[in-house]
């Protein structure tokens, strides 16, 4: 499987493991896990053909480590980014002093009023390095990087989580903790 093909399947996996499992009649358990055999079989029906070995390659090669297997590799899930209702059982973790969030100019008026909202996802996504936040913002245009005073937030009682692929997550970032 070449890189282009891997990316195509990877995007398809994001769709069915994070947002629309119903589209291929895939069942995810309450923690977001899909059975690997079931995923492969139902993907084939949907015209996305890959083997379990292809899947292992896709998971290993994924630029953001978006997917993970359980211990015996019988199940797979997305590490974060869901819009459907799953409980990832993330562990709370103390954040560094500051975290970065990449966005674009046109969202700033709303962010200045409401702070950072999780929008369609389960959490607000932040990164510990500015470069990653730049990439996140650039998906939508010229990136604007906001600094979140995460340590202060945490001291004030807000909970932070670190996903298995290194994304920092929290429910909501009120305006007063954002440096624009």
Contact residues toward ligand HQG (CB under 6 A) are 64, 66, 81, 103, 107, 110-111, 114, 116-117, 119-121, 125, 136, 140, 167
Torsion angle of the four alpha carbons 157, 126, 35, 19, in this order, in degrees rounded to the nearest 10:
100
CB of 141 to ligand HQG, least distance (A): 10
CB of 94 to ligand HQG, least distance (A): 21
Q: Which is nearer to ligand HQG, 37 or 124 (CB)?
A: 124
CB atoms within 10 A of CB 85: 9
Q: Which is nearer to ligand HQG, 37 or 141 (CB)?
A: 141
CB of 86 to ligand HQG, least distance (A): 15
Q: Which is nearer to ligand HQG, 43 or 80 (CB)?
A: 80
Q: Which is nearer to ligand HQG, 43 or 163 (CB)?
A: 163
CB of 130 to ligand HQG, least distance (A): 14
């Amino acid at each position: 499987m070449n890189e282009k093909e891997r990316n195509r399947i990877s995007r398809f996996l994001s769709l069915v493991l994070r947002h629309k499992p119903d589209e291929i009649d895939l069942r995810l358990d309450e923690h977001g896990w899909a059975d690997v055999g079931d995923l492969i079989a139902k993907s084939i029906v949907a015209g996305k053909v890959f083997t379990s070995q292809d899947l292992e390659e896709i998971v290993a090669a994924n630029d953001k480590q978006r997917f993970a297997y359980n211990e015996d590799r019988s199940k797979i899930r997305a590490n974060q980014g869901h819009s459907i209702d799953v409980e990832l059982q993330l562990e709370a973790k103390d954040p560094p002093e500051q975290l970065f969030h990449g966005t674009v100019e046109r969202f700033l008026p709303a962010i200045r009023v409401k702070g950072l909202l999780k929008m369609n996802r389960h959490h607000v996504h932040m990164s510990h390095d500015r470069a990653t936040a730049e990439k996140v913002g650039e998906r939508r245009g010229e990136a604007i990087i906001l600094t979140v005073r995460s340590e202060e937030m945490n001291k004030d009682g807000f909970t932070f989580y670190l996903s298995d692929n290194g994304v920092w997550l929290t429910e909501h970032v009120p305006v007063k903790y954002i440096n624009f």
